[in-house]
Amino acid sequence: MLDIKYIREHAELIKENLKNRGVVLDLDNLLTLDRDRRAHMAQIEELRAQRNQGSKGKPSEEDIAKMRQVGDQIATLEKELATIEIDYNKLLKAVPNLTHPETPIGGEEDFKVLATEGKIPKFNFEPKDHEAILLDLGLIDFERGTKVAGNKFFFSKGDLVRLNQALIQYGIDIVTKHGYELMETPDLAKDEILEGIGFNPRGPETQIYSIDNNDLSLIGTAEITIGGYHANEILDLSKGPKKYVALSHCFRTEAGAYGRTSKGMYRVHQFVKLEMFVFCKPEESEVMHQEILTIEREIASGLGFPYRVIDVASQDLGGPAYRKFDIEAWMVMKGDSASSTGGYGEITSASNCTDFQARRLNIRYRKENGDTEFVHTLNGTAINYSSRWPIAIIENFQQKNGSIKIPKVLQKYCGFKEIKSRT
RNA sequence: GGAAGCGUGGCUGAGCGGUUGAAAGCACCUGAUUCGAAAUCAGGCAUAGGGGCAACCUUAUCGGAGGUUCGAAUCCUCCCGCUUCCGCCA
């Protein structure tokens, strides 16, 4: 959520930003509602002042009659105000965050490549996608996953499970080394927390599973629970930013997702993710954004598959992000023609959300002069399993004989150097 | 899941329909006293919104949301949380 004062005073800039982000929204209507809202508030306050004055001490019968009238007027105005505020809040929450000046303007394809690392593998055999490899090795069961929980759920088995655990151990060791406090979070959160972070828990376009007869939803990422962790708090950031790394399950309905990019574990309803989250002062957020990206690269580079870093374009940012860096790993499954051996697929996303989330979650910090100010929040993927990180490993390090070489850094965690068929 | 009790400012804690944004104490800040400190004395000490160049004015907030009333921290309803007891259970 943006500050209405800022919107009021920078209407043209906001309109430009809406255009750049491809968001259609009637800003003039919001400004009209804002004026109307404040006018109503002024009137109500005036009448309340009258009533407060009139109701002091023991009023006479005459005063009571008069105040009863004032009360009726207040009630009428309050009803009008409530109606105005429904539309006002809906519109205000729909205004996306401002955009970093260096963010490329444009759609999904208009990202800017900031860095490329590693060599694209050259296979002296026909490489397979992870689904085929894992099925051949007997380490994944989609059919029974579907039987038990529905399409896009699956069972992981044997050494794949050990690989998953190793990935998390490896990720935890690297991130905590950088001073991030390790947490495990609830896998469910209240709708108000989801909304504060910028998710839409219910409604036709939601990506979130919600629980019936309850205000709880399954979280799509630990970003939700860690953001909520400090909701309605005034933080002490005098000793530096608050940095967390949190492990949770992630649940996504992925409504409408289909086609080639949904193959195997790329787009699933449930996975596990280790997520970094930072609360910091506004002047620190750009540096923290770089730090998160650096840690993500350290994790990816250690595993040894090729990847690139992109500066995500304006229309692909989502509402809360001011700027977003994605790491995309090379994956065989991403080959989009018979001639190509692969393509890039997103494995991390690091967002600087400035004060957009903090404003709604009411998270501030105490400045040295005693004032409070909204913090900036940032989040970024450290690593995950049952989804894209194992894909990158399995597809890049597959061998001609159908086995998978395990990156050296993982071997001490999982206790084996390769995954091979047991038959 | 059932029953009872409770949720008031940074903390302790009064108030249970009418100058109560809220007594008192602790903590904290300023000043007096002191060579300095302690003690003592005087004063200050919540947050957010709206208006005003400003001094200032005004509204809201006593777990949350509604309701009753001319008027609610105080009464009613629902929700959330905490404590204790019972039940159930990894």
Query: pLDDT per residue over A406-423, tens digit each?
Result: 999 999 999 999 999 876
A4-94 shares its CATH topology with A108-419 = no
DSSP string computed for A114-155: EEEESPPP--SS----HHHHHHHHT-EEHHHHHHHH-TT--E
Question: Distance from residue A36 (CA) to nucleotide B18 (C1'), in Å?
Answer: 34
Across A395-405, average pLDDT: 96
Q: What is the pLDDT of residue A57?
A: 66
Nucleotide nearest to A38 (CA to C1'): B50
Q: Is A232 part of any known ligand binding site?
A: no
Nucleotide nearest to A66 (CA to C1'): B70
Mean pLDDT of chain A: 91
Decide: CB of A372 under 7 A of nucleic strand B. Answer: yes
Class of domain A4-94: mainly alpha
Q: Is A113 part of any known ligand binding site?
A: no
Instruction: Give all strands (DSSP E) within A170-252, no chain letters.
Output: 181-184, 188-190, 216-218, 234-235, 242-251
Structure tokens at A132: 């085929």
Question: Distance from residue A387 (CA) to nucleotide B85 (C1'), in Å?
Answer: 48
Q: What is the pLDDT of residue A299?
A: 98
Q: Which residue has the higher pLDDT, A235 or A305?
A: A305
- CB-based contact A248:A226 (threshold 8 Å): no
Q: What is the pLDDT of residue A371?
A: 76
CA distance A273 to A168: 8
Question: Distance from residue A340 (CA) to nucleotide B2 (C1'), in Å?
Answer: 66
Phi, psi (degrees; rounded to nearest 5) at A136: -60, -35
Nucleotide nearest to A70 (CA to C1'): B70
Q: What is the DSSP letter of A259?
A: S
CB atoms within 10 A of CB A160: 22
HSE-CB for A265 with a 13 A CA cutoff? 32
pLDDT higher than 70, residue A256: no
Q: What is the pLDDT of residue A366?
A: 80
Decide: CB of A64 under 7 A of nucleic strand B. Answer: yes
pLDDT higher than 90, residue A213: no
For A108-419, which CATH superfamily applies? Bira Bifunctional Protein; Domain 2 (3.30.930.10)
A310: left (phi > 0), else alpha (psi -120 to 50), else beta? beta
pLDDT higher than 60, residue A260: no
Domains in chain A: boundaries? 4-94, 108-419
- Taking the stretch 68-87 of protein chain A, residues with Cβ within 7 Å of any atom in nucleic acid chain B are 68, 70-71
| Closest-CA residue to A244 (of A182, A297, A185, A187) | A182
Q: Is A23 part of any known ligand binding site?
A: no
Q: What is the pLDDT of residue A337?
A: 65
Across A154-167, average pLDDT: 96
Q: What is the pLDDT of residue A404?
A: 97
Q: Is A221 part of any known ligand binding site?
A: yes
- Chain segment A318-371, per-residue pLDDT in tens: 899 999 999 999 999 998 766 677 999 999 999 999 999 998 888 888 877 777
DSSP string computed for A341-391: --EEEEEEEEEE-TTHHHHHHT-EEE-TTS-EEEPEEEEEEEEEESSHHHH
Q: What is the pLDDT of residue A261?
A: 59
| Closest-CA residue to A382 (of A243, A252, A280, A279) | A243
pLDDT higher than 70, residue A99: yes
Q: Is A269 part of any known ligand binding site?
A: yes
Q: What is the pLDDT of residue A361?
A: 87
Percentage of residues in chain A having pLDDT higher than 90: 66
Count of residues in chain A: 423
Q: What is the pLDDT of residue A338?
A: 63
- Per the DSSP assignment, residues forming a β-bridge with A181 are A244
Nucleotide nearest to A371 (CA to C1'): B47
Question: Distance from residue A287 (CA) to nucleotide B3 (C1'), in Å?
Answer: 55
Q: What is the pLDDT of residue A339?
A: 64
Phi, psi (degrees; rounded to nearest 5) at A140: -145, 145
Instruction: List, in sequence order, the alpha helices (H) in A55-116.
Output: 61-94
- Taking the stretch 232-261 of protein chain A, residues with Cβ within 7 Å of any atom in nucleic acid chain B are none
Question: Distance from residue A277 (CA) to nucleotide B13 (C1'), in Å?
Answer: 39
pLDDT higher than 70, residue A258: no
CA distance A408 to A308: 21
- pLDDT band at A162, cuts 50/70/90? very high
Pairing outcome for strands A112-117 and A307-311: antiparallel
Q: Is A89 part of any known ligand binding site?
A: no
- pLDDT band at A114, cuts 50/70/90? very high
- pLDDT band at A380, cuts 50/70/90? very high
Q: What is the pLDDT of residue A408?
A: 97
Q: In chain B, which nucleotides are within 7 Å of a protein Cβ?
A: 18-19, 47-51, 58-60, 70-71
Nucleotide nearest to A82 (CA to C1'): B66
CA distance A296 to A41: 48
HSE-CB for A215 with a 13 A CA cutoff? 6
Decide: CB of A287 under 7 A of nucleic strand B. Answer: no
Question: Distance from residue A370 (CA) to nucleotide B30 (C1'), in Å?
Answer: 17
Q: What is the pLDDT of residue A423?
A: 63
